[in-house]
Chain A
Amino acid sequence: MADLHENLQKLRNISHNPKKQLDTYLSDGKQVIGAFPYYTPEVMADAAGIIPMGMWGAQTEFSLAKKYLVPFACPIMQACMELGLQGKYAGVKAVMIPTMCDTLRDVTQDFKTGVKDISTIAYTLPQNRKLAAAKEYLIEELTYVKEQIEKIYGVTITEEAMQKSIAVYNKHNSVMREFAAIANDHLDIITPAVRHSVFKSAWFMSKSEHIAAVEEIINQLKALPVYNFTGHRLILTGITAEPCSLLNILSDNNFAVVGDDVAQEMRQYRTDIPEDTSSLASLAQQWLDRSDPMAHDDHIDRVNLLEKLYKENNADAILVCLMKFCDPEEYEFVAYNSALKEAGIKVLSIDIDQQPNNYDQARTRIETLAELL
Chain B
Amino acid sequence: MLTLGIDIGSTTSKAAIIENGHKVVAKNIIPVGTGTRGPEEVFKSVLDQLHIKRNDINRIVATGYGRMKFEHADRELSEISCHGKGVRFLIPDVRTIIDIGGQDAKVLQLNDKGLLENFIMNDKCAAGTGRFLDVMASVLDIDINDMGPRSLQADAPVSISSTCTVFAESEVISRLSNGENINNIIAGIHRSVAKKVGGLAIRLGYTDHVAMSGGVARNIGIVKAMEEELKCPIAVHPDCQLAGAIGAALFAYDDLTKK
Contacts and interface: CB of A to CB of B under 8 A. Distances in A.
- The answer to whether A and B interact is yes
Interface of A: 351, 360-361, 364-365, 367-368, 371-372
Contacts, number: 29
Given A371-B116, A372-B116, A361 B78 contact: no
Contacts of A364: 65, 78-80, 121
B230 interface: no
Contacts of B78: 364, 367-368, 371
Nearest to B65: A360
Nearest to B122: A361
B121 A367 contact: no
A361 B116 contact: no
B121 A361 contact: yes
Interface string B98-127: 000000100000000000111101011000
B235 interface: no
Nearest to A348: B119
A361 B103 CA distance: 10
B45 interface: no
Contacts of A361: 104, 121, 124
A365 B121 contact: yes
Nearest to B68: A363
Nearest to B108: A368
Contacts of B81: 368, 371-372
Nearest to B77: A371
Given A367-B77, A368-B81, 7 more contacts: A361-B121, A364-B121, A368-B80, A371-B78, A372-B116, A372-B118, A372-B119
Contacts of B104: 361
A367 B121 CA distance: 13
A363 B79 CA distance: 11
| Chain B CB within 10 Å, residue with most, of A361, A365, A368, A371 | A368
A360 B10 CA distance: 11
7 contacts: A361-B121, A361-B124, A364-B78, A364-B121, A367-B77, A371-B80, A371-B81
Contacts of A360: 65
Contacts of A367: 77-78
Contacts of A365: 121
B257 to A, nearest CB: 18
B111 to A, nearest CB: 11
Contacts of B123: 351
Nearest to B66: A360
A280 B117 CA distance: 51
A-B pairs, top 10 by smallest CB distance, nearest first, are A367-B78, A368-B80, A368-B78, A371-B81, A364-B78, A361-B124, A360-B65, A372-B116, A368-B81, A368-B119
Contacts of A351: 123-124
Interface string B66-79: 00000000000111
Contacts of B116: 368, 371-372
Interface in B165-185: none
B244 to A, nearest CB: 12
A365 B65 CA distance: 12
Contacts of B79: 364
A95 B31 CA distance: 54
Interface in B189-203: none
Nearest to A370: B78
